[in-house]
Structure 1
Amino acid sequence: MNIEVTERPKEQDAKTISQGIIDFNNAKIPDLEPIEKEVKFFVFVRNKLDQVIGGVRATCFWNTLHIELLWLSEDCRGKGVGKDLMNATESFAKEKGCEKAFVETTSWQAKPFYEKVGYVHIATINDRPKGYASHYLTKDLI
């Protein structure tokens, strides 16, 4: 047996492990939504000059909305823009069949914001990154 660590895998090797987990999952749960149904999307907010002043990057897969990032420019924070972005994001996700939402945020970011829009804190990993914490929150969309 040979263990290999690489930052540049052969394309076929990467495909082999991806297909391996897909096959394993399908053997355990035959009606599991296929990974090909994964939907990556963005939601933007623009100012009157059509400049992006905030947005969300997210993915829908299985039955879950995964919020990967949310950013708002300083001048639109605290004005309900974030809530509007989240509503649009969650509405799109529901149209794609998502019943749950999941987000990770760090101790200096937006935990209170997510709680304000209905997310529930489920876990914390302390010292991630060092000296801070990562918080995990979820919300039922149905």
Structure 2
Amino acid sequence: MDLVLTDQPTAEDEAVVSNGLDDFNLTAGGVQDRKPLAVLLKENGETIGGLTGRTSLGLWFVDLLYLPERLRGSGLGSKILAEAEVEARRRGCLSGVVYTIQFQAPEFYARHGWIEFGRVPVGADRSRVFFRKELRG
């Protein structure tokens, strides 16, 4: 056996890890419901921004949310986040989690009802900011 450190795992590498964890979750917890969730912003058929994440075991993970600078402040980010939240609720998620960097969008998430639950310093003057949101009710 070898340990291989890489910044370029193949799709097959990632699938082995992902499928292995799914199998474990099914065996141990009786559930395997991880599913990607994306709301994409398209212009002339090309993706120019959007949200990516996933749902699993009652939790919605927001991985990335990006809009081109020219569209920030237009309300599209709010629309994208709201649409993803509706889908997460439809899938039975009870909570959501996201992290951002303090210079990115903590105010955006707070405005949309997300509650900060932690900060992890990642340098002398910046932190990752972790948020959660209850989706019940």
TM-score (norm 1): 0.75
- Closer, same or farther in 2 for the Cα pair 1:136/1:6, shift >3 Å? same
Alignment of 1:90-101 (within 5 A): 90-101=85-96
Number of matched pairs: 131
**Corresponding residue number in structure 2 for 1:5:** 3
Whether 1:133 aligns to 2:127 is yes
Q: Does 1:73 align with 2:73?
A: no
**Whole-Å separation in 1 of the counterparts to 2:21 and 2:40:** 36
Q: 1:43 aligned to 27, 35, 39, which one?
A: 39
SS in structure 2 at match of 1:104: strand
- How well do the aligned residues superpose, as a CA RMSD in angstroms? 3.1
Q: Indicate how the Cα distance of structure 1 residues 97 and 129 shifts in structure 2: closer, same or farther if over 3 A, else same.
A: farther
- Per-residue deviation, 1:51: 3.8
Tell which structure's C-alpha radius of gyration is larger.
1
How far is 1:26 from its partner? 5.3
Amino acid at match of 2:38: F
Deviation beyond 6 Å, 4+ runs, structure 1: none
Gaps of 5+ in 1: none
CA distance in 2, matches of 1:99, 1:110: 23
Aligned equivalent of 2:114: 119
Equivalent in 102, 115, 124 of residue 107 of structure 1: 102
Go from structure 1 to structure 2 and tell me whether the alpha carbon gap of 1:86 and 1:24 turns closer, same or farther (over 3 Å shift). closer
Contact map agreement 1:72 1:82 (CA 8 A) in 2: yes
List alignment gaps of at least 5 residues for structure 2: none
